[in-house]
């Protein structure tokens, strides 16, 4: 017999209305429904979805995607928000917390192109679309001749712009393409050694108002501890570097056995190709505090090698 949890009213998931955000919210909805909970969705459009003609760095940063969802939580219109962790600022506002981090999808960046198999196949000076400073700097480090042009919008919009011929290739997160059944668009998945992913890429986090123990209990079975530890270390690198989308910064963790290794790369916006890299590993990462400390240690190495802490928000 299934034990049905007691709920005074359905839990409401606040979600952006892009196909990817909806997929992610519906995924969490399905998991919680399977566990016997009653779950509804509240779709909303955020500023980050509306403003498409400027880079995120110029319009106010990643927080744009999450602020409106947090307002819905604050006003009691919704109970939880499912986020791509990559888009979640390092510090949550007071009164909010991450209730859980789920198992990571593919964290790699994907090379997508109608006519070229990978970066090395692109002709001299080809136009590659991305608005991510991290991707721009890492691409230029591999191929200084490429012309990087801005590309914003949801996944479908970005793929349409590629197909219309505005770019020879674009770079997207493999995770988003896979979730939407668009895996066949991936021509090449960059290994972390080629193009280091962003902190949190491919992982989903669920945000709630602090103190909602009923929700924490419901969400606990969705948590994936190895992912949570990894992304905590990655996000600690970003936090310690003052990371935001106006700084090219990559941080990526991998387990081998009991050892967690974090690689990071920091780019100078002005210098464009001067990448600073650092690595640290630990076999003693078993709680969020030690994961955080590992990330801070990587950031200290970046700083010692000349990376500067950003003060921009
Ligand atoms: N910045 C937008 C964004 N936020 C999360 C993903 C992909 C899914 C994920 O990383 O979990 C994407 C698209 C992309 O970078 O191509």
pLDDT digits (tens, 9 = 90+) for 172-195: 999 999 999 999 999 999 999 999
Question: Which tens digit of pLDDT belongs to each residue from 224-234?
Answer: 999 999 999 99
DSSP secondary structure string for all residues of the chain: -PPPPP-SS-EEEEEE-SHHHHHHHHHHHHHHHHTT--EEEEEE--HHHH--SS-HHHHT-GGGGTHHHHHHHHTTS-SEEEEEGGGS-SSPPTTEEEEEEPPP----EEEE-SS-SSGGGSPTT-EEE---HHHHHHHHHH-TTPEEE---S-HHHHHHHHHTTS-SEEEEEHHHHHHTT-GGG-SEEPPTTTSPPPTTTT-EEEEEETT-HHHHHHHGGG--HHHHHHHHHHHHHHHHTT--TTS-EEEEEEEETTEEEEEEEEE-TTTSS-EEEEEEEES---SHHHHHHHHHHHHHHHHHTT-------
d(CA 72, CA 124): 48
Question: Which tens digit of pLDDT belongs to each residue from 151-172?
Answer: 988 899 999 999 999 999 999 9
Mean pLDDT of 16-28: 95
For the CA of 172, the nearest atom of ligand 1: 16
Query: In the prediction, which pLDDT does 65 show?
Result: 72
CA distances 232 to 100, 201, 209, 300, Å, are 11, 12, 19, 16
Q: Which of 24, 66, 106, 175 to mutate to test the pocket of ligand 1 (most atoms within 8 A of CB)?
A: 175
Mean pLDDT of 118-147: 95
Q: Whose CA is nearest to atom 8 of ligand 1?
A: 176
Mean pLDDT of 251-278: 89
Rounded to the nearest angstrom, the distance between the alpha carbon of 176 and the centre of ligand 1 is 6
What the chain holds in terms of domains, given with CATH numbers, is 1-102+203-223 (3.40.190.10), 109-189 (3.40.190.10), 224-307 (3.30.160.40)
Question: Which tens digit of pLDDT belongs to each residue from 76-103?
Answer: 999 999 999 998 988 899 999 999 999 9
Rounded to the nearest angstrom, the distance between the alpha carbon of 173 and the centre of ligand 1 is 5
156 is written with which tokens? Answer: 């479908």
**For ligand 1, which residues put their CB under 6 angstroms from it?**
84, 86-87, 172-173, 175-176, 201-202
Question: Which tens digit of pLDDT belongs to each residue from 31-66?
Answer: 999 999 999 999 998 666 666 566 555 555 556 778
d(CA 71, CA 26): 20
Catalytic, 268? Answer no
Rounded to the nearest angstrom, the distance between the alpha carbon of 200 and the centre of ligand 1 is 10
Question: Which tens digit of pLDDT belongs to each residue from 248-264?
Answer: 999 999 999 999 999 99
Query: In the prediction, which pLDDT does 90 show?
Result: 86
Query: In the prediction, which pLDDT does 60 show?
Result: 55
Q: Whose CA is nearest to atom 13 of ligand 1?
A: 173
Q: Which residue has the higher pLDDT, 129 or 309?
A: 129
* pLDDT over 60 (residue 146): yes
Average pLDDT, the chain: 92
CA distances 62 to 48, 49, 67, Å, are 8, 11, 9
Catalytic-role residue among 49, 53, 79, 87? 87
Query: In the prediction, which pLDDT does 206 show?
Result: 98
Query: In the prediction, which pLDDT does 45 show?
Result: 82
Mean pLDDT of 291-296: 98
How far apart are the two ends of the chain, measured CA to CA in Å?
51
Decide if 12 contacts 78 (C-beta within 8 A): yes
Q: Whose CA is nearest to atom 1 of ligand 1?
A: 87
């Amino acid at each position: 017999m299934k034990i049905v949890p007691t709920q005074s009213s359905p839990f409401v998931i606040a979600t952006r209305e892009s196909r990817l955000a909806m997929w992610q919210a519906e995924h969490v909805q399905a998991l919680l429904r399977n566990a016997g909970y009653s779950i509804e969705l509240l779709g909303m459009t955020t500023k980050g979805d509306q403003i498409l003609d400027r880079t995120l760095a110029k319009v106010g940063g990643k927080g744009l995607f999450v602020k409106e969802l947090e307002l819905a939580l604050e006003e009691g219109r919704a109970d939880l928000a499912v986020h791509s962790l990559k888009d979640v600022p390092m510090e949550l506002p007071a009164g909010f917390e991450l209730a859980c981090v789920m198992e990571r999808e593919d964290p790699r960046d994907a090379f997508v192109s109608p006519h070229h198999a990978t970066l090395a196949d692109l002709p001299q000076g080809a136009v590659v679309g991305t608005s991510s400073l991290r991707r721009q700097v890492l691409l230029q480090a591999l191929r200084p001749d490429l012309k990087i042009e801005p590309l914003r919008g949801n996944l479908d919009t970005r793929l349409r712009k590629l197909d219309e011929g505005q770019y020879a290739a674009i770079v997207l997160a493999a995770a988003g393409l896979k979730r939407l059944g668009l895996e066949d668009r991936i021509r090449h998945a960059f290994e972390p050694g080629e193009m280091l992913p962003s902190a949190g890429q491919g992982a989903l986090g669920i945000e709630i108002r602090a103190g909602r123990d009923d929700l924490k209990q419901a969400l606990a079975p969705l948590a994936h501890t190895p992912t949570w530890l990894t992304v905590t270390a990655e996000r600690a690198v970003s936090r310690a570097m003052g990371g935001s989308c106006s700084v090219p910064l990559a941080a990526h963790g991998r387990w081998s056995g009991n050892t967690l290794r974090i690689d990071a790369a920091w780019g100078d916006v002005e210098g464009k190709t001067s990448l600073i890299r650092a690595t640290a590993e630990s076999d003693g990462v078993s709680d969020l505090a030690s994961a955080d400390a590992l990330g801070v240690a990587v950031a200290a190495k970046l700083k010692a090698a000349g990376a500067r802490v950003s003060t921009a928000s």
